[in-house]
Amino acid sequence: MTTNSSDMVTEQAIFRRAELLLGDEAMKRIAEKRVIIFGVGGVGSWCAESLVRSGIRHLTIVDSDCVSISNVNRQLMATTKTIGQVKVDALKERLMSINPSAEITALQQVFTAETAECFELDTYDYIIDAIDSLKDKALLILLATKTQSQFFSSMGAALKLDPSRIKTVEFWKVQGDPLARVLRKYFKRNGQFPERKFQCVYSDELLENKMPIDPNDKGNGTIAHITAIFGFILAGLVIRDAIR
């Protein structure tokens, strides 16, 4: 009798190597955690994959965009075959192929002042910020730090090439990152500040584009190994905290 390979796929088998490293109790704690990621582009998509491969079962991914050709060089689910697909749907399909038992909620939405309440931030153990928009990022920081959830944020991953310069530090101690600097000015100008400290992933490297920016795609130059490392570090922060 031929055995279907899918019949042999169990969570115990999938996560055996992680269990060897972390232990059974730690894996159970990881599996119970609820995580939401805002923005599943170059940073958030890799974070999502790392979390699911590490045993996170309850994951919500939020992004309003569709896959474009300019995403293919650095975003996990972006390939020439997924161009035009909704990002969160393409990523969910990928994540479910890793662990079919995972509970992945894909929301094609944007986090704004108008939509913030519908995400019920208080219901998550971990909130991860990989948003590009300054105003929306600032709002997520303000609201997430009011919750009891652990909150981790990515600063800018563009215009960087040296992975050895990527660091993790408390937000107000970030140095050399333009996005963090603009965020701090934004908070001071509006007289609103995060309720508590939180960890950021950032790099103090800042290169320049060697080619003119395409007016139809105004993003700065970015490369996969940098955005992926940002995402992996965010996932690492979650896993390390979850097993304490």
| Model pLDDT, residue 1 | 33
Give the separation between CA 244 and CA 240, rounded to whole angstroms.
7
User: What gap in Å lies between CA 87 and CA 74, rounded to an integer?
Assistant: 13
Task: Enumerate residue ranges in the chain where pLDDT < 70.
Answer: 1-8
Specify the pLDDT at position 70: 94
Structure tokens at 214: 């395409």
* 112-170: pLDDT as tens digits: 999 999 999 999 999 999 999 999 999 999 999 999 999 999 999 999 999 999 999 99
Rounded to whole angstroms, the maximal C-alpha distance in the chain is: 70
For 238, the token pair is 């979650």
Continuous segment of H or E residues that includes residue 113: none
Backbone angles phi, psi at 127, to 5 degrees: -120, 125
Task: Give the pLDDT of residue 8.
Answer: 54
Q: Which residues are CB-neighbours of 49 under 8 A, at least 6 positions away?
A: 76, 94, 95, 98, 231
DSSP tag of 177: -
Do the beta carbons of residue 128 and residue 111 sit within 8 Å? no
